[in-house]
């Protein structure tokens, strides 16, 4: 049986991420095949014989507050929304502090080079 790790992405993900983020994603990826789609497909991919892991990544844009005393001081940033456990199975994650398994709603992991 061939064991494969799949990473399901949303079409256009490469265009929305910066060069450093793309390079980091490629460097850490532990998968034999990457699937890109324009809609969520994780359940279907997970049902394929031989698939060992599925991790879906969704590009997001968010506002980051730069100064809590000045509501107009913010920056717009791009990122990826992921399931931390699934992402850890499909990427070699070098966590410098904390544990991705501890992430819950309203928490975030930040790549230091961002």
- pLDDT tens per residue across span 77-110: 777 788 888 888 888 877 777 777 777 776 666 6
> Which of 46-50, 57-61, 92-96 holds the top average pLDDT?
46-50
Predicted pLDDT at 112: 56
Give mean pLDDT, residues 18-26: 67
The verdict on residue 107 lying in a domain is no
Cα separation, 5 vs 56, in Å, equals 11
Q: What is the pTM of this model?
A: 0.60
Give mean pLDDT, residues 59-64: 77
Q: Residue 109 phi/psi, 5° resolution?
A: -110, 140
Query: Strand 4-10 to strand 33-37: parallel, antiparallel, or no bridges (unpaired)?
Result: parallel
**49: pLDDT strictly greater than 80:** yes
The verdict on residue 83 lying in a domain is yes
Q: In terms of pLDDT, which residue wins out, 16 or 53?
A: 53
Q: How many domains does the chain have?
A: 1
The verdict on residue 54 lying in a domain is yes
**CA dist list (Å): 42 to 10, 17, 27, 93, 94:** 11, 21, 22, 21, 24
Share of the chain above pLDDT 70, in %: 70
**11: pLDDT strictly greater than 50:** no
The verdict on residue 112 lying in a domain is no
- Domain with 56, as residue range(s), is 4-102
Q: Residue 56 phi/psi, 5° resolution?
A: -95, 135
């Amino acid at each position: 049986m061939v064991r494969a790790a799949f990473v399901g992405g949303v079409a256009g993900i490469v265009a929305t991420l910066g060069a450093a983020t793309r390079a980091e994603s490629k460097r850490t990826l532990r998968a034999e095949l990457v699937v890109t789609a324009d809609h969520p497909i994780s359940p279907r991919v997970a049902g394929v014989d031989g698939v060992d892991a599925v991790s879906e990544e969704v590009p997001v844009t968010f506002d980051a507050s730069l100064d809590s005393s000045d509501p107009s001081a913010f920056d717009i940033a791009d990122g990826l929304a992921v399931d931390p456990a699934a992402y850890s199975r499909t990427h070699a994650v070098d966590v410098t502090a904390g544990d991705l398994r501890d992430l819950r709603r309203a928490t975030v992991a930040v790549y230091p080079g961002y």
